[in-house]
Chains A and B, each alone.
Chain A
Amino acid sequence: MDRRTLLKSVAGAGTLAIVGKFPTPALAQGAAARTLRFVPQANLANFDPIWGTQYVVRNASAMVWDTLYGFDDKLQPQRQMVESEEISADGLTWTFRLRTGLKFHDGEPVLAKDAVASLARWAVRDPMGQMLIAIQQELSAIDDRTFKWVLKKPYPKMLVALGKNNTPVAFIMPERIAKTDPFKQISEYVGSGPMRFVKDEWVPGAKAVFEKVSGYVPRQEPASWLSGGKQILVDRIEWVVMPDPATASAALQSGEIDWWENPISDLVPVLRKNANILVDIADPLGNIGSFRMNHLYPPFNDVRARRAILMAMSQDDYMRAIVGDDPALWKPLPGFFTPGTPLYTEEGGDILKGKRDLDAAKKLLAESGYSGQPVTCLVAQDQSITKAQGDVTADLLKRLGMNVDFAAIDWGTVGTRRAMKTPPGQGGWQMFHTWHAGADCVSPAPYNAVRANGDKAWFGWPNIPEVETEIANWFEAKTLDEEKAAIKKVNKAAVDNVVYAPTGFFLSYQAWRKNVTGIVKGPLPFFWGVAKTA
């Protein structure tokens, strides 16, 4: 019996479990119903959403800190802590007014100076914030409820920047905390959102606890992702970190936990068989698989070599390696933007469609001057997504007649090596694999991976002025049609010049017990509106 089969059988046994017979922790039934036990995607290792931009930190922070605006499920920014905003006729001055009744968890009112300090800290770390800083004339409080942001040139995407759910999110903290250097971690967790972080019960790597804040005043509109009324229907939420998927699966089946953010696809069939468990797609925005080529060194400093890879690669192979044969979980992606979102386009993506042409790819590769030099391919073995992609890439390169230097390392080492600009033989690299949350790929604003501004670009350092020109046009677009036109050109230029190689679009599941209601699909787990019965 191999390990995977064993995992399945252990998890499968839970289908036979009878709810209620399992010994429960020392919680009375009523208390148990008011406590939601959740298994997050990863360990909450720190709790500063500006300093540490991992998704798990953002997800926990969304309970504790509120935002001025929040994206709804149509990806539109809606007012959240803000009551109203005004923009001057020249588009240079934004004036924001906070709504009444906003309080921090220490009882102090949320004032304009808190928002100003929070935005100032956030802007240093956020790509859109950095753009704002570059054109900022003044960011200051006018009175306790009003502040203004004066710019040197119009910035039509202001509300997107303030409401987006991509990390780092513009969370609002008390001024004294927000004045912390953005490159240093905060140590005080006074929130502005609907849940309080219970620091005393935090065991990093094992448990994080959040309690309902009684004084929080939610908006009256229905909740929609990060916007609307954030009504908390349980008293306490416990995040239980479980590194082993089989353990999480068994715990969900036995009722020891209520909601599991990311069950692995191998275990989903078992969970589906359990009458007490519901399984559904977690995030409709999904993920985009990627491998990046180093544009600085041969062979991939020649666009023909990069195109040869696109010509030969099969996204089917990559997606099946990542998520298996479940067709509901993936689709091919002849482009760079998230399917199902307003800016999605396949413009210029023909090279990724249809039958794969290995012979033509070999010919193009030869034209690029490649003649058997080693190609260093970094593959993190401790991340299932990167390992699966790395195995497919290694096979692809071999079939193309390339000499693969397969570097099987861990994710931490990939993090170091991919930042090295030295030649591949001297510690550098030619390829590495990763993936991007679809929520980060809905537009160029949070999407560093599609940027092609040379030294300032993401690892691989593509330098493609056409891409940058069209991204700049998108930032200045005032209508959706203008945005779409710009993105079509971005996509075409990015595919033509191969900013990176998209390996496909894939989704993942979430699972929860039937006595839990109100769970919605979204780019992060939203706890408002989630209720639990005994």
Chain B
Amino acid sequence: MFAYVVRRIIATIPVMAVVALVVFSLLYITPGDPAAIIAGEQASPADIERIRASLGLDQPFLVRFGEWVWQLLHGDLGTSIFTNLPVTTMIAQRFEPTLSLMAVTLCLSIAVAVPMGVVAAWKAGTFIDRLIMAFAVFGFSVPVFVIGYLLAYVFSLEFEWLPVQGYTPLSQGVGPWFENLILPAVTLGCVYVALIARITRATMLEVLQQDYIRTARAKGVGQHDILYIHALKNASVPIVTVIGIGIALLIGGAVVTESVFAIPGLGRLTVDAILRRDYPIIQGLVLLFSFLYVLINLAIDLVYTLLDPRIRY
């Protein structure tokens, strides 16, 4: 197992190298000029040219790529063109809010979606099943920003239970931290809940048809134990797979959610950097997201071994 983990981690190196090359190349050919944005509307073309030169943006592709790779190899993601702050500092500033949002979303979603899917499978064909599936369709179909606005309308402005916007660091207390994250997490979690609930239902339906479940019932095992101990464990591999894949959805959804709730996270940083053509930040973030995604896939593969003893690496 340990050798497998090491092999997988080593295998991320060529993956990251390809990601780095593709991202750098794409940004190089993307139109847009940070120097023009920095110089402002009144700047002369000559001023813009001098800023471009001072930022090294007038250098050929290979020179810029070589410098960036050299920095990367020294553990340096570069410096933001606009803020003059190290990219690592800017990512560190934004990491906690996004990680918190994703963690709370993940926990809430799994806690809600898995039981929903199990119940829907158990009550397949009934009104409860249709109700749960209708909710799933709703969660899939309604845009994240609409859900966000509606939740803010009801729970922040009408009932005044929760704040409209912002993020409170965990260091200032779990209560304020969680208070700021409830609405964004529910907003972001809707799609995720729908996805997990549907896959849980489908997988559970398949498992519940199997002979060992019938045997368990014949032996007098209670419904709860059949569903959550005998069936769910065997249905969990595809569910865990979807949870892993869904984390990519969360990263995408976080961009909108962070904007709607003014959370200073990585999603907003990404959008801002793209709009301003702040190349070092975009490159750093894409590398980070790619690396996280590779790690998540590795973690999921390892979780399989816990859920299904037949799987060994």
Partner among B50, B54, B161, B173 whose Cβ is within 8 Å of the Cβ of A26: B173
Give the CA-CA distance A253 to B165 in the complex, in Å.
Answer: 12
B32 near A250 with CB under 8 A, answer no
Q: Which of B250-289 contact A (CB under 8 A)?
A: 259-262, 264, 268-269, 271-272, 275-277
Nearest CB on A from B101, distance (A): 14
For residue A416, CB closer than 8 A to chain B, the reply is yes
Give the CA-CA distance A269 to B184 in the complex, in Å.
Answer: 27
Q: Contact mask A196-210 → B, CB, 8 Å, 1/0?
A: 000000011111000
Give the CA-CA distance A415 to B271 in the complex, in Å.
Answer: 18
For residue B47, CB closer than 8 A to chain A, the reply is yes
Q: Which of B54-108 contact A (CB under 8 A)?
A: 54, 80, 82-85, 90, 93-94
Give the CA-CA distance A236 to B38 in the complex, in Å.
Answer: 28
A204 near B158 with CB under 8 A, answer no
Nearest CB on A from B14, distance (A): 32
For residue A59, CB closer than 8 A to chain B, the reply is no
Q: Which of B166-181 contact A (CB under 8 A)?
A: 166, 168, 172-173, 176, 179
Residue count of chain B within 8 Å CB distance of chain A: 62
B40 near A52 with CB under 8 A, answer yes
Smallest Cβ-Cβ distance to A447: which chain B residue: B42
- Once A167-B42, A204-B83, A448-B42 are accepted as A-B contacts, the answer to whether A247 and B164 lie under 8 Å apart by CB is yes
Give the CA-CA distance A241 to B93 in the complex, in Å.
Answer: 15
Smallest Cβ-Cβ distance to A17: which chain B residue: B157
For residue A273, CB closer than 8 A to chain B, the reply is no
- Once A45-B272, A52-B38 are accepted as A-B contacts, the answer to whether A416 and B157 lie under 8 Å apart by CB is no
- Once A13-B157, A183-B50 are accepted as A-B contacts, the answer to whether A256 and B163 lie under 8 Å apart by CB is yes
Residues from chain A with Cβ under 8 Å of B80 in the complex: 204
Smallest Cβ-Cβ distance to B273: which chain A residue: A205
For residue B153, CB closer than 8 A to chain A, the reply is yes
Q: Which of A142-193 contact B (CB under 8 A)?
A: 166-167, 181, 183-185, 187
B42 near A53 with CB under 8 A, answer yes
For residue B290, CB closer than 8 A to chain A, the reply is no
B157 near A10 with CB under 8 A, answer yes
Smallest Cβ-Cβ distance to A55: which chain B residue: B40
A206 near B160 with CB under 8 A, answer no
For residue A100, CB closer than 8 A to chain B, the reply is no
Q: Which of A399-443 contact B (CB under 8 A)?
A: 409-413, 415-417, 419, 434, 436, 440
For residue B297, CB closer than 8 A to chain A, the reply is no
Smallest Cβ-Cβ distance to B46: which chain A residue: A456
Give the CA-CA distance A16 to B157 in the complex, in Å.
Answer: 7
A434 near B41 with CB under 8 A, answer yes
- Once A382-B275, A416-B36, A417-B31 are accepted as A-B contacts, the answer to whether A46 and B156 lie under 8 Å apart by CB is no
For residue B215, CB closer than 8 A to chain A, the reply is no
Nearest CB on B from A49, distance (A): 10
Q: Contact mask B13-38 → A, CB, 8 Å, 1/0?
A: 00000000000000000011110111
A412 near B32 with CB under 8 A, answer yes
Residues from chain A with Cβ under 8 Å of B276 in the complex: 45, 412
B168 near A247 with CB under 8 A, answer no
Q: Contact mask A46-86 → B, CB, 8 Å, 1/0?
A: 10100111110000000000000000000000000000000
A26 near B176 with CB under 8 A, answer yes
A53 near B43 with CB under 8 A, answer yes
A185 near B50 with CB under 8 A, answer no
Partner among B42, B158, B165, B275 whose Cβ is within 8 Å of the Cβ of A446: B42
Nearest CB on B from A256, distance (A): 6
For residue A240, CB closer than 8 A to chain B, the reply is yes
For residue A246, CB closer than 8 A to chain B, the reply is yes
- Once A13-B157, A242-B165, A417-B31 are accepted as A-B contacts, the answer to whether A205 and B36 lie under 8 Å apart by CB is no
Residues from chain A with Cβ under 8 Å of B32 in the complex: 410, 412-413, 415-416
Smallest Cβ-Cβ distance to A7: which chain B residue: B149
B272 near A205 with CB under 8 A, answer yes
For residue B146, CB closer than 8 A to chain A, the reply is yes
Give the CA-CA distance A458 to B36 in the complex, in Å.
Answer: 13
A415 near B164 with CB under 8 A, answer no
For residue B48, CB closer than 8 A to chain A, the reply is yes
- Once A9-B153, A243-B259, A250-B165 are accepted as A-B contacts, the answer to whether A127 and B36 lie under 8 Å apart by CB is no
Give the CA-CA distance A203 to B156 in the complex, in Å.
Answer: 25
Residues from chain A with Cβ under 8 Å of B157 in the complex: 10, 13-14, 16-17, 250, 253-254
Give the CA-CA distance A410 to B54 in the complex, in Å.
Answer: 24
Residues from chain A with Cβ under 8 Å of B53 in the complex: 183
- Once A412-B275, A415-B33 are accepted as A-B contacts, the answer to whether A54 and B44 lie under 8 Å apart by CB is no
For residue B51, CB closer than 8 A to chain A, the reply is yes
Residues from chain A with Cβ under 8 Å of B158 in the complex: 13, 16
Give the CA-CA distance A148 to B84 in the complex, in Å.
Answer: 34
Give the CA-CA distance A181 to B134 in the complex, in Å.
Answer: 62
- Once A53-B42, A416-B32 are accepted as A-B contacts, the answer to whether A206 and B172 lie under 8 Å apart by CB is no
Residues from chain B with Cβ under 8 Å of A412 in the complex: 31-34, 36-37, 275-277
For residue A25, CB closer than 8 A to chain B, the reply is yes
Residues from chain A with Cβ under 8 Å of B179 in the complex: 23
Residues from chain A with Cβ under 8 Å of B156 in the complex: 22, 250, 254
Q: Which of A223-246 contact B (CB under 8 A)?
A: 240-244, 246
Nearest CB on B from A292, distance (A): 12
Give the CA-CA distance A25 to B177 in the complex, in Å.
Answer: 11
For residue A251, CB closer than 8 A to chain B, the reply is yes
A244 near B259 with CB under 8 A, answer yes
For residue B248, CB closer than 8 A to chain A, the reply is no
Smallest Cβ-Cβ distance to A18: which chain B residue: B160
For residue A125, CB closer than 8 A to chain B, the reply is yes
B37 near A23 with CB under 8 A, answer no
Give the CA-CA distance A127 to B41 in the complex, in Å.
Answer: 13
For residue A43, CB closer than 8 A to chain B, the reply is yes
Give the CA-CA distance A16 to B153 in the complex, in Å.
Answer: 11
Nearest CB on A from B272, distance (A): 5
Most buried by A among B47, B83, B164, B269: B164
Residues from chain A with Cβ under 8 Å of B261 in the complex: 247
Smallest Cβ-Cβ distance to A243: which chain B residue: B259
For residue B309, CB closer than 8 A to chain A, the reply is no
A181 near B54 with CB under 8 A, answer yes
Contacts A411-B275, A417-B31 aside, 13 further interface pairs with beta carbons under 8 A come to A10-B150, A17-B160, A22-B160, A22-B163, A23-B160, A25-B176, A46-B38, A53-B42, A54-B40, A412-B276, A412-B277, A419-B33, A456-B44
Which 7 residue pairs across A and B have the least CB separation, nearest first? A206-B264, A53-B40, A415-B36, A412-B32, A13-B157, A416-B33, A413-B31
| Listed A/B pairs (15) with beta-carbon separation below 8 Å | A13-B157, A23-B161, A46-B38, A53-B39, A205-B264, A206-B262, A246-B149, A246-B260, A247-B261, A251-B262, A256-B164, A411-B275, A412-B33, A415-B36, A434-B41
